[in-house]
Protein backbone atom coordinates (compact mmCIF):
# COMPACT_ATOMS: atom_id res chain seq x y z
CA UNK A 1 0.00 0.00 0.00
CA UNK A 2 1.45 3.37 -0.95
CA UNK A 3 1.07 5.59 2.09
CA UNK A 4 2.46 8.59 0.28
CA UNK A 5 4.27 10.25 3.16
CA UNK A 6 6.81 11.82 0.82
CA UNK A 7 7.47 15.42 1.82
CA UNK A 8 5.60 14.96 5.09
CA UNK A 9 7.53 15.93 8.21
CA UNK A 10 7.40 13.87 11.39
CA UNK A 11 8.60 13.95 14.98
CA UNK A 12 8.90 10.66 16.87
CA UNK A 13 9.66 10.68 20.61
CA UNK A 14 11.44 7.87 22.47
CA UNK A 15 13.15 7.07 19.18
CA UNK A 16 16.42 5.56 20.42
CA UNK A 17 15.30 1.94 20.50
CA UNK A 18 12.32 -0.39 20.62
CA UNK A 19 9.00 0.76 19.19
CA UNK A 20 10.13 4.36 18.62
CA UNK A 21 13.10 3.25 16.53
CA UNK A 22 10.83 0.99 14.46
CA UNK A 23 8.42 3.92 13.92
CA UNK A 24 11.26 6.15 12.70
CA UNK A 25 12.35 3.42 10.26
CA UNK A 26 8.79 2.94 8.97
CA UNK A 27 8.18 6.66 8.43
CA UNK A 28 11.56 7.15 6.73
CA UNK A 29 10.82 4.15 4.49
CA UNK A 30 7.53 5.81 3.48
CA UNK A 31 9.42 8.93 2.45
CA UNK A 32 8.83 11.21 5.44
CA UNK A 33 11.47 13.61 6.76
CA UNK A 34 11.79 12.58 10.39
CA UNK A 35 13.21 14.06 13.58
CA UNK A 36 13.85 11.29 16.11
CA UNK A 37 13.96 12.62 19.67
CA UNK A 38 15.21 10.60 22.58
CA UNK A 39 17.20 10.87 25.77
CA UNK A 40 20.09 8.67 24.63
CA UNK A 41 21.01 8.81 20.95
CA UNK A 42 21.88 5.36 19.60
CA UNK A 43 23.85 4.21 16.56
CA UNK A 44 20.69 2.47 15.31
CA UNK A 45 18.79 5.76 15.37
CA UNK A 46 21.58 7.59 13.55
CA UNK A 47 21.62 4.84 10.92
CA UNK A 48 17.97 5.50 9.99
CA UNK A 49 18.85 8.73 8.22
CA UNK A 50 16.52 10.71 10.49
CA UNK A 51 17.69 13.92 12.12
CA UNK A 52 18.32 13.18 15.79
CA UNK A 53 17.82 15.24 18.92
CA UNK A 54 18.82 14.41 22.49
CA UNK A 55 16.16 15.74 24.85
CA UNK A 56 14.66 14.76 28.20
CA UNK A 57 10.87 14.74 27.76
CA UNK A 58 10.16 14.21 31.45
CA UNK A 59 11.05 17.86 31.98
CA UNK A 60 8.77 20.87 31.51
CA UNK A 61 11.15 22.42 28.98
CA UNK A 62 11.81 19.29 26.87
CA UNK A 63 8.72 19.62 24.68
CA UNK A 64 9.39 23.25 23.74
CA UNK A 65 13.00 22.38 22.97
CA UNK A 66 11.79 19.54 20.73
CA UNK A 67 9.21 21.56 18.83
CA UNK A 68 11.65 24.45 18.35
CA UNK A 69 14.17 22.01 16.88
CA UNK A 70 11.49 20.48 14.64
CA UNK A 71 10.50 23.92 13.35
CA UNK A 72 14.13 24.78 12.66
CA UNK A 73 15.07 21.48 11.00
CA UNK A 74 11.82 20.44 9.31
CA UNK A 75 10.15 23.82 8.78
CA UNK A 76 6.89 22.62 10.35
CA UNK A 77 5.13 19.52 11.54
CA UNK A 78 2.70 17.17 9.75
CA UNK A 79 3.00 14.09 11.98
CA UNK A 80 3.64 13.96 15.72
CA UNK A 81 4.17 10.54 17.30
CA UNK A 82 4.21 10.65 21.11
CA UNK A 83 5.84 7.29 21.73
CA UNK A 84 8.02 8.05 24.74
CA UNK A 85 6.95 6.23 27.88
CA UNK A 86 7.65 3.39 30.19
CA UNK A 87 7.24 1.83 33.58
CA UNK A 88 10.83 1.72 34.65
CA UNK A 89 10.44 4.00 37.63
CA UNK A 90 8.45 1.61 39.63
CA UNK A 91 7.76 -1.81 38.21
CA UNK A 92 5.68 -3.88 40.55
CA UNK A 93 5.35 -1.71 43.65
CA UNK A 94 1.99 -2.09 45.34
CA UNK A 95 -0.27 0.98 45.56
CA UNK A 96 0.72 1.77 49.16
CA UNK A 97 4.41 1.83 48.19
CA UNK A 98 3.99 4.25 45.30
CA UNK A 99 4.99 7.69 46.52
CA UNK A 100 3.95 11.04 45.07
CA UNK A 101 7.30 11.45 43.36
CA UNK A 102 6.82 8.17 41.49
CA UNK A 103 3.28 9.07 40.44
CA UNK A 104 4.61 12.41 39.24
CA UNK A 105 7.47 10.84 37.27
CA UNK A 106 5.14 8.32 35.62
CA UNK A 107 2.73 11.07 34.63
CA UNK A 108 5.60 13.30 33.43
CA UNK A 109 6.92 10.52 31.20
CA UNK A 110 3.70 8.91 29.95
CA UNK A 111 1.19 11.76 30.01
CA UNK A 112 2.62 15.26 30.42
CA UNK A 113 5.30 14.57 27.80
CA UNK A 114 2.46 14.20 25.27
CA UNK A 115 0.39 17.10 26.67
CA UNK A 116 3.34 19.48 26.47
CA UNK A 117 4.54 18.32 23.06
CA UNK A 118 1.08 18.49 21.49
CA UNK A 119 0.51 21.96 22.99
CA UNK A 120 3.79 23.24 21.57
CA UNK A 121 3.22 21.60 18.18
CA UNK A 122 -0.43 22.61 17.69
CA UNK A 123 0.14 25.89 15.84
CA UNK A 124 2.12 24.03 13.20
CA UNK A 125 -0.25 21.03 13.14
CA UNK A 126 -3.27 23.31 12.71
CA UNK A 127 -1.59 25.25 9.93
CA UNK A 128 -0.70 22.05 8.03
CA UNK A 129 -3.75 19.85 8.89
CA UNK A 130 -1.37 17.52 10.69
CA UNK A 131 -1.96 14.45 12.76
CA UNK A 132 -1.04 13.16 16.23
CA UNK A 133 -0.55 9.53 17.22
CA UNK A 134 -0.10 8.70 20.90
CA UNK A 135 1.42 5.34 21.83
CA UNK A 136 -0.47 4.20 24.92
CA UNK A 137 -0.88 0.59 26.11
CA UNK A 138 -3.58 -1.98 26.70
CA UNK A 139 -2.96 -1.42 30.41
CA UNK A 140 -4.38 2.06 29.78
CA UNK A 141 -7.66 0.27 28.93
CA UNK A 142 -7.44 -2.04 31.94
CA UNK A 143 -5.09 -0.74 34.63
CA UNK A 144 -4.41 -3.44 37.22
CA UNK A 145 -2.47 -4.22 40.36
CA UNK A 146 0.89 -4.40 38.58
CA UNK A 147 2.56 -1.15 37.49
CA UNK A 148 -0.43 0.83 38.76
CA UNK A 149 1.06 4.28 38.21
CA UNK A 150 2.07 3.31 34.66
CA UNK A 151 -1.40 1.94 33.83
CA UNK A 152 -3.22 4.94 35.23
CA UNK A 153 -0.94 7.39 33.41
CA UNK A 154 -1.54 5.47 30.16
CA UNK A 155 -5.31 5.56 30.81
CA UNK A 156 -4.98 9.35 31.01
CA UNK A 157 -3.06 9.38 27.74
CA UNK A 158 -5.72 7.28 26.00
CA UNK A 159 -8.43 9.62 27.31
CA UNK A 160 -6.44 12.64 26.13
CA UNK A 161 -6.51 11.22 22.60
CA UNK A 162 -10.32 11.12 22.66
CA UNK A 163 -10.64 14.62 24.10
CA UNK A 164 -8.25 16.21 21.61
CA UNK A 165 -9.75 14.33 18.67
CA UNK A 166 -13.09 15.96 19.42
CA UNK A 167 -11.61 19.40 19.94
CA UNK A 168 -9.23 19.56 16.98
CA UNK A 169 -10.84 17.17 14.47
CA UNK A 170 -13.14 19.91 13.16
CA UNK A 171 -10.03 22.04 12.58
CA UNK A 172 -8.39 19.34 10.46
CA UNK A 173 -6.03 17.76 13.01
CA UNK A 174 -6.64 14.04 13.50
CA UNK A 175 -5.63 12.58 16.87
CA UNK A 176 -5.47 8.81 17.37
CA UNK A 177 -4.07 6.33 19.88
CA UNK A 178 -2.33 2.99 19.51
CA UNK A 179 -2.52 0.57 22.44
CA UNK A 180 -0.04 -2.29 22.13
CA UNK A 181 0.06 -5.39 24.28
CA UNK A 182 3.46 -6.87 25.16
CA UNK A 183 5.98 -5.97 22.44
CA UNK A 184 9.38 -7.68 22.14
CA UNK A 185 11.59 -4.83 23.41
CA UNK A 186 13.94 -4.06 26.29
CA UNK A 187 10.79 -3.45 28.34
CA UNK A 188 10.39 -7.24 28.51
CA UNK A 189 13.84 -8.51 27.57
CA UNK A 190 16.02 -6.47 29.93
CA UNK A 191 16.73 -8.17 33.31
CA UNK A 192 16.52 -4.75 34.99
CA UNK A 193 13.28 -3.69 33.23
CA UNK A 194 9.68 -4.53 34.12
CA UNK A 195 9.97 -7.99 32.52
CA UNK A 196 12.99 -8.89 34.64
CA UNK A 197 11.30 -7.61 37.77
CA UNK A 198 8.07 -9.52 37.12
CA UNK A 199 10.07 -12.70 36.45
CA UNK A 200 12.01 -12.23 39.69
CA UNK A 201 8.80 -11.58 41.62
CA UNK A 202 7.51 -14.91 40.30
CA UNK A 203 10.73 -16.64 41.34
CA UNK A 204 11.83 -17.53 37.80
CA UNK A 205 14.61 -16.37 35.49
CA UNK A 206 13.82 -14.10 32.57
CA UNK A 207 14.78 -16.93 30.17
CA UNK A 208 12.12 -19.14 31.76
CA UNK A 209 9.55 -16.38 32.04
CA UNK A 210 9.63 -14.89 28.53
CA UNK A 211 8.51 -17.91 26.44
CA UNK A 212 5.46 -18.32 28.69
CA UNK A 213 4.52 -14.64 28.76
CA UNK A 214 2.29 -14.55 25.63
CA UNK A 215 0.10 -17.39 26.88
CA UNK A 216 0.14 -16.07 30.44
CA UNK A 217 -1.36 -12.77 29.30
CA UNK A 218 -3.82 -14.45 26.93
CA UNK A 219 -2.25 -13.65 23.56
CA UNK A 220 -3.90 -16.06 21.14
CA UNK A 221 -0.99 -15.61 18.72
CA UNK A 222 1.36 -17.28 21.21
CA UNK A 223 4.12 -14.71 20.65
CA UNK A 224 4.96 -11.16 21.61
CA UNK A 225 4.06 -8.34 19.21
CA UNK A 226 7.01 -7.14 17.10
CA UNK A 227 7.91 -3.43 17.15
CA UNK A 228 7.61 -3.16 13.36
CA UNK A 229 3.98 -4.31 13.57
CA UNK A 230 3.19 -1.32 15.79
CA UNK A 231 5.23 0.92 13.49
CA UNK A 232 3.24 -0.20 10.43
CA UNK A 233 0.02 0.85 12.18
CA UNK A 234 1.53 4.24 13.06
CA UNK A 235 2.56 4.83 9.43
CA UNK A 236 -0.97 3.93 8.29
CA UNK A 237 -2.62 6.24 10.86
CA UNK A 238 -0.26 9.03 9.80
CA UNK A 239 -1.31 8.74 6.17
CA UNK A 240 -4.34 10.04 4.31
CA UNK A 241 -5.46 6.42 3.93
CA UNK A 242 -6.62 6.81 7.55
CA UNK A 243 -8.37 10.14 6.95
CA UNK A 244 -11.61 8.91 8.50
CA UNK A 245 -9.85 7.65 11.62
CA UNK A 246 -10.33 10.25 14.34
CA UNK A 247 -10.19 9.51 18.06
CA UNK A 248 -9.57 5.80 17.46
CA UNK A 249 -7.73 3.57 19.91
CA UNK A 250 -6.11 0.80 17.88
CA UNK A 251 -5.37 -2.30 19.94
CA UNK A 252 -2.39 -4.40 18.78
CA UNK A 253 -2.04 -7.14 21.36
CA UNK A 254 -2.28 -10.59 19.80
CA UNK A 255 -5.75 -10.95 21.29
CA UNK A 256 -4.73 -10.41 24.93
CA UNK A 257 -7.37 -7.83 25.85
CA UNK A 258 -10.73 -9.55 25.95
CA UNK A 259 -12.96 -6.57 26.66
P1 LIG B 1 11.95 1.35 25.38
O2 LIG B 1 12.15 1.45 26.85
O3 LIG B 1 12.52 0.18 24.66
O4 LIG B 1 12.49 2.68 24.67
C5 LIG B 1 12.10 3.90 25.16
C6 LIG B 1 12.82 4.99 24.42
O7 LIG B 1 12.41 6.23 24.98
C8 LIG B 1 14.32 4.92 24.59
O9 LIG B 1 14.94 5.38 23.42
C10 LIG B 1 14.55 5.87 25.77
O11 LIG B 1 15.84 6.43 25.85
C12 LIG B 1 13.55 6.94 25.46
N13 LIG B 1 13.24 7.69 26.67
C14 LIG B 1 12.95 7.20 27.89
N15 LIG B 1 12.74 8.20 28.75
C16 LIG B 1 12.90 9.34 28.06
C17 LIG B 1 12.81 10.71 28.38
N18 LIG B 1 12.55 11.11 29.63
N19 LIG B 1 13.01 11.63 27.41
C20 LIG B 1 13.31 11.25 26.15
N21 LIG B 1 13.42 9.97 25.77
C22 LIG B 1 13.22 9.02 26.72
O23 LIG B 1 10.38 1.47 25.16
P24 LIG B 1 9.40 0.60 24.26
O25 LIG B 1 9.84 0.66 22.85
O26 LIG B 1 9.20 -0.71 24.91
O27 LIG B 1 8.03 1.42 24.44
C28 LIG B 1 7.71 2.54 23.66
C29 LIG B 1 6.32 3.00 24.03
O30 LIG B 1 5.39 1.93 23.88
C31 LIG B 1 6.19 3.46 25.49
O32 LIG B 1 5.30 4.54 25.57
C33 LIG B 1 5.60 2.24 26.18
O34 LIG B 1 4.91 2.60 27.33
C35 LIG B 1 4.68 1.73 25.09
N36 LIG B 1 4.34 0.32 25.22
C37 LIG B 1 5.33 -0.63 25.23
C38 LIG B 1 4.99 -1.96 25.34
C39 LIG B 1 6.03 -3.05 25.36
O40 LIG B 1 5.66 -4.21 25.61
N41 LIG B 1 7.29 -2.79 25.06
C42 LIG B 1 3.58 -2.39 25.45
C43 LIG B 1 2.64 -1.30 25.42
C44 LIG B 1 3.02 -0.01 25.31
P45 LIG B 1 16.89 5.95 26.98
O46 LIG B 1 17.67 4.86 26.31
O47 LIG B 1 17.71 7.14 27.30
O48 LIG B 1 16.10 5.44 28.17
3 state DSSP class of 53: strand
Query: What local confidence, expressed as pLDDT, does residue 88 receive?
Result: 63
Q: Can you give the pTM of this predicted structure?
A: 0.97
Going from the Cα of 170 to the center of ligand 1, the distance in angstroms, rounded, reads: 31
Local mean pLDDT, 10-residue blocks, the chain (259 residues): 92 98 98 98 98 97 97 97 85 84 95 98 98 97 86 97 98 98 93 86 92 94 97 98 98 94
38/154 Cα distance (integer angstroms) = 19
Query: What local confidence, expressed as pLDDT, does residue 197 receive?
Result: 84
Query: What local confidence, expressed as pLDDT, does residue 202 receive?
Result: 87
State yes or no: ipTM above 0.85: yes
Domains, the chain, ordered by start? 9-181+226-249 (3.40.50.720), 184-224 (no CATH)
Give the residue numbers annotated as catalytic, written as ranges: 150
201/123 Cα distance (integer angstroms) = 46
Q: Is 111 in the pocket of ligand 1 (CB under 6 A)?
A: no
HEC sequence for 189-244: HCCCCHHHHHHHHCCCCHHHHHHHHHHHCCCCCCCCECHHHHHHHHHHHHCHHHCC
Q: At what angle do helices 62-74 and 113-127 cross, to 10 degrees?
A: 30
Q: Is 113 in the pocket of ligand 1 (CB under 6 A)?
A: no
- Give the closest residue to 132 by CA, choosing from 245, 19, 3, 2: 245
Torsion from C-alpha of 128, 4, 161, 64, nearest 10 degrees: -50
Amino acid sequence: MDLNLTNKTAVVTGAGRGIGLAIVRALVAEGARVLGATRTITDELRATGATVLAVDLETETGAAQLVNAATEVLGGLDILVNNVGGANHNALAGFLDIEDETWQRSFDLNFYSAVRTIRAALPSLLERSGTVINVSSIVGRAPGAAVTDYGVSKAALTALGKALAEQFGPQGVRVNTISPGPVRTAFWESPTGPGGKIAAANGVSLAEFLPNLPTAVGMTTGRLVEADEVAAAVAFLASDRARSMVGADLIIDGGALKT
